[in-house]
Amino acid sequence: MTKEFPKTPRNQVRRIPHRGRYDKATIYPIIDEALICHVGFALDGQSYLIPTLHARQEDRILLHGAKGNRMLKHLQSGGEVCIAITLVDGLVLARSVFHHSINYRSVVLFGRGESIEGKEEKLAAMEIVTEQILRGRWQEARQPNQKELDVTSIVAVTIESASAKVRTGPPIDEEEDYTLPVWAGVLPIRPAVGNPEKDLRLREGLPVSPSVMNYSRRGR
């Protein structure tokens, strides 16, 4: 398995190219950490951008939803998509407004879809999606029955091309601005998890599930 995606006109980072990354060791942890991706596609002359849950299975992105979903139908027919993911790590506060920025990790990938069919194949895909949301949850909760599988479409997008773009570090000001009496630096942004809030219809005496107590995002 190749460790990098070839740099091509389609995936090449052009704006501030030194921030571009093409290796899977950088790209895949960003995909795995994110809860939401945005799927872009064109259909009948109209462009669409849909936010949705996702999961990665090796070199494929798994997406699921209700049968009849316009995006999934496009992918089931072999249609092309562009998928974008962004994680924000901090506000970069410079001495000048012009040089304010953010520290971030982002991925843009391209691929074509194919339908996942068959009960065992769909269950395996649903397990991966569930574990992407919360590791350990698949074994704790009731798994999908046949009726639920029948009304769900699952597609796999093979990653044909991808790149990451990453900014880290402090602000970069104009040399003459470094003497200005303005605070400058980075304000880190980290996801915060609150205390679990139980369902009002929860059976009495049930403890919080281990998957909930041990929640963390992969890739960090």
- Domain assignment present for residue 26? The answer is yes
In angstroms, the first-to-last Cα distance of the chain is: 23
Instruction: Indicate whether 220 pLDDT > 50.
Output: no
| CATH classification of the domain holding 103 | 2.30.110.10
Give the per-residue pLDDT at 125: 98
- Domain assignment present for residue 8? The answer is no
Identify the domain containing residue 163 by its residue range.
17-174+203-213
Average pLDDT over every residue of 138-159? 97
- Domain assignment present for residue 39? The answer is yes
Q: Are 39 and 71 in contact (CB under 8 A)?
A: yes
Give the per-residue pLDDT at 1: 59
Average pLDDT over every residue of 110-117? 97
The position carrying tokens 């139908």 is: 73
- Domain assignment present for residue 144? The answer is yes
Instruction: Indicate whether 218 pLDDT > 70.
Output: no
Give tens-digit pLDDT for 7-40. 999 999 999 999 999 999 999 999 999 999 999 9
- Domain assignment present for residue 30? The answer is yes
Residue 100: C-alpha distances to residues 66, 95, 170, 171, 179 (Å): 41, 8, 10, 7, 17
* Number of domains comprising the chain: 1
Instruction: Indicate whether 219 pLDDT > 60.
Output: no
Give the per-residue pLDDT at 81: 98
- Domain assignment present for residue 75? The answer is yes
Average pLDDT over every residue of 70-95? 97
Average pLDDT over every residue of 77-84? 96
Cα(90)–Cα(17) distance, integer angstroms: 20
Cα(155)–Cα(145) distance, integer angstroms: 19
- Domain assignment present for residue 163? The answer is yes
Instruction: Indicate whether 184 pLDDT > 60.
Output: yes
Average pLDDT over every residue of 175-195? 95
Mean of all residue pLDDT scores within the chain: 96
- Domain assignment present for residue 65? The answer is yes
